[in-house]
Structure 1
């Protein structure tokens, strides 16, 4: 995956590499000019030679500075684009994942991993990659010039290469492994932080600030403990590279001094050789450190690679797109267990038929499967057994996006976005006109509180609608759903946060819709079920009774108990 991203920016990297080569050529020329300046200028007593070589060095310095500027710009630009590409791919892939994928993962975990992985990759493949390439070219070019200057001393310096390569390979794998584990540990920290901050009102109300801080502290300590092993491996690799590289250079200086005394090497040649030796040693050592950094970055992105390698069991698109939807819904002997709890049946042998335009209500104790049936109709999941039919067609054969675009959904705790009121109502129907938005808002009685806001429908509502009350958020969600004029409307306790008067007004408006959608309601309030066409009673995931409210009061003891306890109490 990383190499594929690098290939996507190969042109920018290729141009940047040209300037790396220009800078290296200038850097490698310095020791040779210094050798000539000592042997021909200083020892030879030629001032003009010294001046000429000094001007040449100034020109090389200027060219290296320009090359460094362009090199850094191009490599960092390529890294920025590569990181943005990876982040966008990961985000788009998350949007296509099965709902079951999110059932076993938290928002904090996903956002923490994404936030930690991308910047490390961006840093390594920007300046650090340019420096690593420069260091490798330093090592290769310097080695050639070392042999040109003194083959005997060059063989000594090259003794440092095998230990550096072996240490980088062995310890680099450990660094990569420990980095992946560290990212997982820090993702747990992100989960804890996201939960505590997102639920700060609950934390404050229950005086749990100290408990949440201690929980986060334990997770951070576990992450730091893993980081210690990673740091030790990276430090050991760096130390080995330093010891072998610099040690070989020092050994070469000692032997070179003996060769000068013996008359087989000039002073200028030795100084030139020493400079090349340190360039080569530093080049290979820094390249080794880059390998460790790259191992850390690649380790941090392993989860993204695994994520992008996943193929969702249910694609967003693909399947039949009927000409129109009448709204005839059938649950045919449906069994289902959530993937996260495969041993617990959520619904069992459910048989329900809903006629077009009919309004039904699902009632039952908590956990009886009411919301599960709505999730199955939205095709967030497929049944383990049985079928769900829409106008006689199995949902498995219908394009999921086409299906969901024709279903309006209102949840008990609706999710709103940090945008304006109008933008939230338009969500899912962005081409809707202002008049259509106001008409939908009128049905949900949104204009009642919007009129009091200084910016009206352009008013931002804050993160998840935090600036609105629970009832106001529900009204917005109802307006958002009816704006689409969906043939099927799902209301999962959609008016639970409204007062009795507002609830009555909204319900009357929904019943008065001019196109009569098929409506499925999850209800806990008596006021919600008394006017529906049919009530479906669920218990432990099974349908135990069905009929009108009055009929069930007379014939179903379990329903009477619900009315007397849950429905009336609610």
Structure 2
């Protein structure tokens, strides 16, 4: 339906164009207009050439409309691809009409012919209308059944992650992005108003400088008087002083405002990232995220501050300069206007291409940062496998991809500057030639011509600044779109639970839980899993590697949501609890605890910044960590280094246990808390754990037989399915998977030179001594 409406408008427009242009031409010509003009055409007398431009407009619009009606699938796409060419053709017609006006202005009686003025005005209006109708035609749906578009937009390309974009629907409009950036500056409206005031002040002062320069020259050349020369010079000096002061204040205020914008963007982006679900961080590399948070936000603030300041200054000055130019000579001003549209189209094409390249450069830089971040964070592993050379080559390859795009940017910039300089030079030669004609014919003075030429040079600089501003703004917009992409992202798993009961017993229930990670939705790692942990009891999860034990921990911590079933705490789904409340009642000690590059005290009371020192020390004593902490150089104020690198494995584990215990949680999760430690460190950490197992609801994943067999309930998982449940003795009697795992461990002890284990029920202390002296690190885990 929309296509029919647009085509109807085009046909109506063409008919009106033909009728009006023909009537204006016939009335403005002799008795036999077409025959006489065709036999003896004279560009200085005839307006046949102006009438002929309607043939170009009609052929373009009717041809495009017929093409879309014939091929509704690909027609709109082809029309859109020719949009720039049609704009150029329309600009040529508009330019020719203005040139015709200048030609007839030399012959006064022809210029004031009302029919010529009517044809001239209609030609200008219809040229603009042609561009508008072409734009509307390129945006039609093409008329597929049901009004649906059957072609893919240019933006519907497959992304790197394999997903398909949605093209125009999701393509962020550059103007909207700039408007949004300005919206974030609304708190600085006072500063921006002050900056704009000084911008206007400096622009007005600079606009008067060429005018008084011409006055000073006329005082010497025409009046030959120092009085006529001195007065303009005094005014010039005052204008220059005021303009300089205003420029300095304006620049400083703009810089301050955009620095505050940078702070707001970074703060908003980081807060948004903190609200995303864990699956988001699984799917997006740390290097990509930090690149958005650092380089992209910096690029946005720098480019926007510099280019917005420059754009406003150049625009205001340009408007003032053109006002003075038009008051001096409308004819020369008309000549100047002729070159503007072409420079604008050139800037638009270059800006769009540069914006596309900028996005590609940012993506390539993010990939390079990903390699660097991953390598640096795992430097010990790289060194242990002598992979330095390979990683350096990989990083260099990524940088070469960036450099290839930089070369494209350089070539595009060179071509743009070449074409712009040629256009400006041609325009200046034309102005001098025609201006000289006006001076010779006494239509303006020499001083006015010099003033006009200075204005034109200044106006050219303003246009050049605006064109470069457009490119810089597009570069900043490209970075801003990536930042807003993260800011606007809504987490798939929200943390908006409201439950915070005064009493919390710690009953844990898994009810028919089926779960797959967001990055691998086709693979279920848990399949209809059900078990219960009574308050105050210890439940152990055992099973082969990859059976889903750690996935149960992630669900209980509300890191992910199950696809089916529920994880309940005291009868309520975990996602219904307030985020802070849940993690004050449920604490986790992982296999590889992560410490922050802060002091020991700040790591223990992480999330509880107001915890008093005595509470921190009490938690450290419970974790069997107080003694070694006191032995550090600065005690609890000792820094632990990045990820706790300055502490041993056992020390990090005990600090992590203290960090969990300081919250006095009702549910304690131990995810193989001693599996990565040597025998001595494991013994110390296990002693710390033994003191807290009796006071909490505990879910433990462990490979130590002594820890597992003392659990009230043992849940045996295999391939995401609960195979067995019960106490140690019951499962041993079943002689199933658990029995085989126990036998495998016992055989591992004996094969490693340890004493035979005749009785599973040996006292815990005896079992621990046997395990600690038997090469525990080689024992198969479950």
Is TM > 0.5 for Structure 1 vs Structure 2?
Answer: yes
Residue of structure 2 equivalent to 1:381: 560
The answer (yes or no) to whether the contact 1:245–1:282 under 8 Å persists in 2 is no
Q: Report how far residue 362 of structure 1 moved.
A: 1.0
Counterpart check, 1:16 vs 2:192: no
Q: What SS class does the counterpart of residue 413 from structure 1 fall into?
A: coil
The answer (yes or no) to whether the contact 2:495–2:575 under 8 Å persists in 1 is no
Post-superposition Cα deviations, 1:232-279, rounded to whole Å, max 9, x if no partner, equal 445444444443334312321222223333333322111101110011
Structure 1, 163-172 or 504-513: larger mean CA deviation: 504-513
CA change 1:524–1:511 in 2 (3 A) is closer
The answer (yes or no) to whether the contact 1:238–1:289 under 8 Å persists in 2 is no
Structure 1, 525-534 or 487-496: larger mean CA deviation: 525-534
The answer (yes or no) to whether the contact 1:246–1:278 under 8 Å persists in 2 is no
Residue of structure 2 equivalent to 1:123: 302
Residue of structure 2 equivalent to 1:398: 577
The answer (yes or no) to whether the contact 1:242–1:285 under 8 Å persists in 2 is no
Residue of structure 2 equivalent to 1:287: 466
The answer (yes or no) to whether the contact 2:548–2:719 under 8 Å persists in 1 is yes
- Looking at structure 1, the residues matched to 543 and 637 of structure 2 have their Cα atoms a distance apart, in angstroms, of 40
- Looking at structure 2, the residues matched to 77 and 465 of structure 1 have their Cα atoms a distance apart, in angstroms, of 38
CA change 1:248–1:177 in 2 (3 A) is same
Q: Report how far residue 522 of structure 1 moved.
A: 1.5
Q: Report how far residue 75 of structure 1 moved.
A: 0.7
1:425 pairs, out of 604, 611, 628, with 604
The answer (yes or no) to whether the contact 2:382–2:388 under 8 Å persists in 1 is yes
The answer (yes or no) to whether the contact 2:541–2:714 under 8 Å persists in 1 is yes
Residue of structure 1 equivalent to 2:525: 346
Q: What SS class does the counterpart of residue 327 from structure 1 fall into?
A: coil
The answer (yes or no) to whether the contact 2:216–2:230 under 8 Å persists in 1 is no
Structure 1, 346-355 or 451-460: larger mean CA deviation: 451-460
* Larger Rg belongs to: 2
2:734 pairs, out of 555, 559, 567, with 555
Q: Report how far residue 117 of structure 1 moved.
A: 1.1
- Looking at structure 2, the residues matched to 515 and 431 of structure 1 have their Cα atoms a distance apart, in angstroms, of 28
Counterpart check, 1:38 vs 2:213: no
Q: Report how far residue 177 of structure 1 moved.
A: 2.4
Q: Report how far residue 316 of structure 1 moved.
A: 2.0
1:335 pairs, out of 514, 517, 520, with 514
- Looking at structure 1, the residues matched to 735 and 319 of structure 2 have their Cα atoms a distance apart, in angstroms, of 87
- Looking at structure 1, the residues matched to 322 and 239 of structure 2 have their Cα atoms a distance apart, in angstroms, of 21
Structure 1, 392-401 or 502-511: larger mean CA deviation: 502-511
Structure 1, 478-487 or 521-530: larger mean CA deviation: 521-530
Q: Report how far residue 430 of structure 1 moved.
A: 1.7
Counterpart check, 1:137 vs 2:319: no
Residue of structure 2 equivalent to 1:476: 655
TM-score calculated relative to the size of structure 2: 0.70
Residue of structure 1 equivalent to 2:453: 274
2:333 pairs, out of 144, 154, 164, with 154
- Looking at structure 1, the residues matched to 235 and 477 of structure 2 have their Cα atoms a distance apart, in angstroms, of 42
- Looking at structure 1, the residues matched to 673 and 415 of structure 2 have their Cα atoms a distance apart, in angstroms, of 60
Residue of structure 1 equivalent to 2:263: 84
The answer (yes or no) to whether the contact 1:83–1:122 under 8 Å persists in 2 is yes
Q: Report how far residue 171 of structure 1 moved.
A: 2.8
2:247 pairs, out of 61, 68, 89, with 68
The answer (yes or no) to whether the contact 2:304–2:476 under 8 Å persists in 1 is no
- Looking at structure 2, the residues matched to 368 and 284 of structure 1 have their Cα atoms a distance apart, in angstroms, of 67
Residue of structure 1 equivalent to 2:234: 55
- Looking at structure 1, the residues matched to 178 and 569 of structure 2 have their Cα atoms a distance apart, in angstroms, of 44
Post-superposition Cα deviations, 1:379-435, rounded to whole Å, max 9, x if no partner, equal 111111111111111224333332123211111111111111100000022221101
Post-superposition Cα deviations, 1:502-533, rounded to whole Å, max 9, x if no partner, equal 43444344343498111111213334323322
Q: Report how far residue 457 of structure 1 moved.
A: 0.5
- Looking at structure 1, the residues matched to 745 and 692 of structure 2 have their Cα atoms a distance apart, in angstroms, of 29
Q: What SS class does the counterpart of residue 354 from structure 2 fall into?
A: helix
Q: Report how far residue 155 of structure 1 moved.
A: 0.9
* Higher RCO (CA 8 Å, separation ≥ 6 residues): 1
Residue of structure 2 equivalent to 1:4: 180
- Looking at structure 1, the residues matched to 234 and 350 of structure 2 have their Cα atoms a distance apart, in angstroms, of 45
CA change 1:157–1:422 in 2 (3 A) is same
TM-score calculated relative to the size of structure 1: 0.95
The answer (yes or no) to whether the contact 2:314–2:465 under 8 Å persists in 1 is yes
Counterpart check, 1:462 vs 2:638: no
CA change 1:230–1:524 in 2 (3 A) is farther
Counterpart check, 1:206 vs 2:382: no
Post-superposition Cα deviations, 1:179-215, rounded to whole Å, max 9, x if no partner, equal 2222112111111000001111111110111111111
- Looking at structure 2, the residues matched to 566 and 465 of structure 1 have their Cα atoms a distance apart, in angstroms, of 32
- Looking at structure 1, the residues matched to 337 and 293 of structure 2 have their Cα atoms a distance apart, in angstroms, of 41
Q: Report how far residue 501 of structure 1 moved.
A: 4.7
CA change 1:499–1:206 in 2 (3 A) is closer
Q: Report how far residue 564 of structure 1 moved.
A: 4.4
CA change 1:565–1:159 in 2 (3 A) is farther
- Looking at structure 2, the residues matched to 566 and 213 of structure 1 have their Cα atoms a distance apart, in angstroms, of 43
1:217-256 to structure 2, matched below 5 A, reads 217-256=396-435
Q: What SS class does the counterpart of residue 427 from structure 1 fall into?
A: coil
Number of aligned residue pairs: give it.
570
Residue of structure 1 equivalent to 2:285: 106
Post-superposition Cα deviations, 1:10-36, rounded to whole Å, max 9, x if no partner, equal 332221111111111111111111111
The answer (yes or no) to whether the contact 1:443–1:506 under 8 Å persists in 2 is no
CA change 1:438–1:2 in 2 (3 A) is farther
The answer (yes or no) to whether the contact 1:72–1:126 under 8 Å persists in 2 is no
C-alpha RMSD over aligned residues:
2.0
1:518 pairs, out of 681, 685, 697, with 697
CA change 1:364–1:235 in 2 (3 A) is farther
